[in-house]
A and B are shown apart, each in its own frame.
Chain A
């Protein structure tokens, strides 16, 4: 299969436009109404999953079995009964417990249950022996950096209540280091309001584009990075390359059939204008809490011949997300009741494997050790430093 990129055709999607689209009365848009019964809620949810979920060819969940088992149960629930609403959350949890989509998340719009959610991959990961909560490595990693490091925050750019944190510096004047807590770098960089992340990025990008001769390698630390804006892939990784980097393939739904898929389309990172190819060793640090765009950055850098990955197997949320209209797939809502976040496309790495629900494995496995961290030692970073001669 040959995929051609049209240089003259492009297509605009903006989250701020979606509201305009769905409010237009148009023969192309089905006007949805809030469901009146739990049976309607179930039908809307089950059918949308049937058409929109992109992993049915690789996910072992018996979705027809869920219909047979849970439709009679939902028919007996009363949408006006608060206890039934709370019980329904557990039923949704049970139905989706085995889904492999690392992004899959149900949040409830109904006021009486909107504090509850369903997050199958978190439940699955918590059962793994190596699971641990995210750790703010920048607190320790500053002790490894030379004195002129830059640490900055953007308090106007938050994820899960935490500000975006970025750290860059050199180690023994021979290694260039960068880490960020989430991928919303472009937003902070271009923000009209001054923030600490801008100076960190200026520091890192200026050295990356004109590498000092003493720098023998680069460490990119995305441990605990839960991902973020798709645009950061080009904005960040695009500074390591001077031509488009093919790092995998995507596939989305092509029809309403559960197994209707497009052919695999090549996925690229595009270079930033004026960027030069980085030819010195690149070491990526990632762990079990590296997810979504964090994993895409890991896999993109791993596509370079001079990069290796140290740390732990990542989360396994590799499918990208965009709004439902673009592919008639992925995330959807059951009006007035729940909202489902799920991948819009499948992603397959260059090696032909789909790492969704599994996680991307490291080249060198170094596990998280909280006791050593308490002593102020970052063994994963030390392994990376040791590999750069």
Chain B
């Protein structure tokens, strides 16, 4: 059964009401749109302690998005966005198995929805804190790695007369095949961030922002008993530019 990204209907209604109420502050309300690009760093939280000589390694990738900010008051706003973010990770073998690994490059389409609070302002510099939620869809993935090839070996007889098989390592790179039973392609979680912006020419601003997206949902469907959960913890840092859209009032 597919687990959908589910935002409680009541929460959606409440957010909508907040947005409508914000219309009451129309004289101060300002809309701005922006684009950003940056780096993502992901940790896949999964217990691999029972897999011998195996470690879980974080993965770096890119993030690119556009966002819409709705400034309700001078210090309070709402932000919605849409973009692509990579949530990569890998597993690698250690000690006598060094050289063997598997890497996942996962691309998600992500929609954050956050409240934005101004925490500092000096001249044209502003610092905001953002907090909210996000929803994401696992668009595509690629898996690559190196593995021992059990049917590509060379054998040596050691001093004790034992046959020692040497396995050649084989590399691979393939598009990840999604499985409806195994994979949960919808992700939902919290979003936290900070933004430093600098305004120029009255309606433009450069921004530098960092965000943290801890997932609340498992990357897998619940298809087996005693399944070990797999949750993304993604950090991103990005830069971009915003433009204020003048109010018609």
Which residues of chain B are near A344, meaning CB under 8 Å? 150
**CB of A186 closer than 8 Å to a CB of B:** yes
Please provide the chain B residues from 89 to 125 with a CB less than 8 Å away from any CB of chain A in the complex.
Answer: 91, 94-97, 99-100, 102
Query: Shortest beta-carbon distance, A256 to chain B, in Å?
Result: 5
Q: How far is the CA of A140 from the CA of B225 in the complex (A)?
A: 54
Known: A229-B163, A257-B224. A28 touches B52 (CB 8 A): yes
Q: Out of A6, A12, A231, A270, name the residue touching B171 (CB < 8 Å).
A: A6
**CB of B6 closer than 8 Å to a CB of A:** no
The answer to whether A252 touches B54, judged by C-beta atoms less than 8 angstroms apart, is: no
**CB of A210 closer than 8 Å to a CB of B:** no
Which residues of chain B are near A235, meaning CB under 8 Å? 155
B-contacting 9-mer, from A259-267, A364-372, A375-383: A259-267
**CB of B49 closer than 8 Å to a CB of A:** yes
**CB of B246 closer than 8 Å to a CB of A:** no
The answer to whether B149 touches A258, judged by C-beta atoms less than 8 angstroms apart, is: no
The answer to whether B99 touches A9, judged by C-beta atoms less than 8 angstroms apart, is: yes
Q: How far is the CA of A327 from the CA of B53 in the complex (A)?
A: 10
The answer to whether B151 touches A320, judged by C-beta atoms less than 8 angstroms apart, is: yes
Question: B211-240 vs A: 1/0 string, CB under 8 Å?
Answer: 000000000100111111010000000000
Q: How far is the CA of A5 from the CA of B148 in the complex (A)?
A: 10
B-contacting 9-mer, from A126-134, A187-195, A333-341: A187-195
Which residues of chain B are near A50, meaning CB under 8 Å? 224-226
**CB of B145 closer than 8 Å to a CB of A:** yes
Q: How far is the CA of A24 from the CA of B160 in the complex (A)?
A: 22
**CB of B179 closer than 8 Å to a CB of A:** yes
Q: Out of B97, B151, B182, name the residue touching A257 (CB < 8 Å).
A: B182
Q: How far is the CA of A210 from the CA of B145 in the complex (A)?
A: 42
What is the number of residues of chain A that contact chain B, defined by CB distance less than 8 Å?
Answer: 69
B-contacting 9-mer, from A13-21, A72-80, A351-359: A13-21
Q: Which residue on A lies nearest to B164, using beta carbons?
A: A14
Q: How far is the CA of A324 from the CA of B53 in the complex (A)?
A: 12
The answer to whether A259 touches B182, judged by C-beta atoms less than 8 angstroms apart, is: yes
The answer to whether B172 touches A263, judged by C-beta atoms less than 8 angstroms apart, is: yes
**CB of A212 closer than 8 Å to a CB of B:** no
Query: Shortest beta-carbon distance, A40 to chain B, in Å?
Result: 14
Q: How far is the CA of A326 from the CA of B51 in the complex (A)?
A: 10
Q: Out of B52, B100, B168, B224, name the residue touching A258 (CB < 8 Å).
A: B224
Q: Which residue on B lies nearest to A260, using beta carbons?
A: B182
The answer to whether B169 touches A231, judged by C-beta atoms less than 8 angstroms apart, is: no
The answer to whether A192 touches B223, judged by C-beta atoms less than 8 angstroms apart, is: no
Q: How far is the CA of A255 from the CA of B227 in the complex (A)?
A: 11
Q: How far is the CA of A322 from the CA of B163 in the complex (A)?
A: 13
Please provide the chain B residues from 140 to 179 with a CB less than 8 Å away from any CB of chain A in the complex.
Answer: 143, 145-155, 157-158, 160-174, 179
Q: How far is the CA of A252 from the CA of B51 in the complex (A)?
A: 14
Chain B contact-residue range equals 35 or more
The answer to whether A270 touches B154, judged by C-beta atoms less than 8 angstroms apart, is: yes
**CB of A67 closer than 8 Å to a CB of B:** yes
Q: How far is the CA of A50 from the CA of B50 in the complex (A)?
A: 13
The answer to whether B147 touches A252, judged by C-beta atoms less than 8 angstroms apart, is: yes
Q: Which residue on B lies nearest to A328, using beta carbons?
A: B51
Q: How far is the CA of A30 from the CA of B47 in the complex (A)?
A: 13
Which residues of chain B are near A327, meaning CB under 8 Å? 147-148
Q: Out of B96, B155, B168, B220, name the residue touching A6 (CB < 8 Å).
A: B168
Q: How far is the CA of A2 from the CA of B171 in the complex (A)?
A: 8
The answer to whether A3 touches B172, judged by C-beta atoms less than 8 angstroms apart, is: yes
Q: Which residue on B lies nearest to A324, using beta carbons?
A: B52
Which residues of chain B are near A192, meaning CB under 8 Å? 161
Q: How far is the CA of A267 from the CA of B168 in the complex (A)?
A: 11
Which residues of chain A are near B95, meaning CB under 8 Å? 26, 28
**CB of B48 closer than 8 Å to a CB of A:** yes
**CB of A215 closer than 8 Å to a CB of B:** no
The answer to whether A257 touches B228, judged by C-beta atoms less than 8 angstroms apart, is: yes
The answer to whether B152 touches A5, judged by C-beta atoms less than 8 angstroms apart, is: yes
Which residues of chain A are near B166, meaning CB under 8 Å? 10-13
**CB of A123 closer than 8 Å to a CB of B:** no
Q: Out of A10, A191, A328, name the residue touching B154 (CB < 8 Å).
A: A10
The answer to whether B170 touches A345, judged by C-beta atoms less than 8 angstroms apart, is: no
Which residues of chain B are near A255, meaning CB under 8 Å? 46, 48, 51, 91
**CB of A61 closer than 8 Å to a CB of B:** no
Residues of B within 8 A of A (CB): 46, 48-54, 91, 94-97, 99-100, 102, 143, 145-155, 157-158, 160-174, 179, 181-182, 220, 223-228, 230
Beyond A14-B162, A254-B143, 6 additional contacts (C-beta under 8 Å) are: A10-B167, A13-B166, A229-B163, A231-B163, A234-B154, A326-B148
**Nearest 9 CB-CB pairings of A with B:** A231-B155, A267-B151, A259-B182, A1-B174, A263-B174, A9-B169, A14-B164, A328-B51, A28-B53
